[in-house]
Amino acid sequence: MQEYRDKTAKSATEVSNEGLWNAWRQVRTRLRARARLRRQQATRAKSQQMKYATPEQLAYADMLDIGLRIGRYLLAGTFILYVFGIAPGKVPLSELPDYWSMPADQYSNLVGIGNGWDWLALVRYGDYMNFLGIAFLSGLTIACYLRVLPFALQRKDFMLGAILMLEVIVLSLAASGLLATGH
């Protein structure tokens, strides 16, 4: 009787395992088919894009896309930390209305921050932590230009290469903080 019970139990487990295995195979087949379809669609979209956009244009767009995603998360994350008081601001939130109607130079003097990248020293404060996301988004174009530069040089388009280099210099100069107005 005991032997009979063991046999029945074993076969029930086997049946259950087989059912699971079949279900998994179905899911796997569907997932593979979907992935194949997605790959085909991506290839078709890419070939369609190549008709209207050059490879460097697509590389620029891809770089921009990735950077934008990172920048958005950085901006949203640092703002949440700031607004919920997890990273308190250099100027307390309740005192902000006393500051935001004054000119930028007066505000900087009161807060005790100089021009250029001096804000980096205050990045532990919530208000200046937000500058990380802003600086990232503002600097994204430089990265995109550097991504495109090899394409121009590869096809010996030196005119485009020179303009790209010039733009990188202009943007880096703006980012450097060297162009202070003494404002």
Positions that interact with other proteins (CB under 8 A): 49, 51-54, 56-58, 60-62, 64-65, 68, 71, 75, 78-79, 82, 89, 93-94, 96-98, 100-105, 107-108, 111, 113, 115-117, 119, 126-128, 130-131, 134-135, 137-142, 148, 157, 159-160, 163-164, 166-167, 170-171, 173-175, 177, 179-181, 183
Which residue's CB is nearer to other proteins, number 17 or number 172?
172
Structure tokens at 5: 């019970």
Please state, in angstroms and rounded to a whole number, the distance separating the CA atoms of residues 129 and 123.
Answer: 5
Measured between its terminal Cα atoms, the distance across the chain in Å is 96
Q: Whole-number minimum distance, CB 19 to other proteins, in Å?
A: 45
Structure tokens at 162: 């020179």
Structure tokens at 17: 């395992």
Please state, in angstroms and rounded to a whole number, the distance separating the CA atoms of residues 164 and 40.
Answer: 34
Which residue's CB is nearer to other proteins, number 23 or number 45?
45
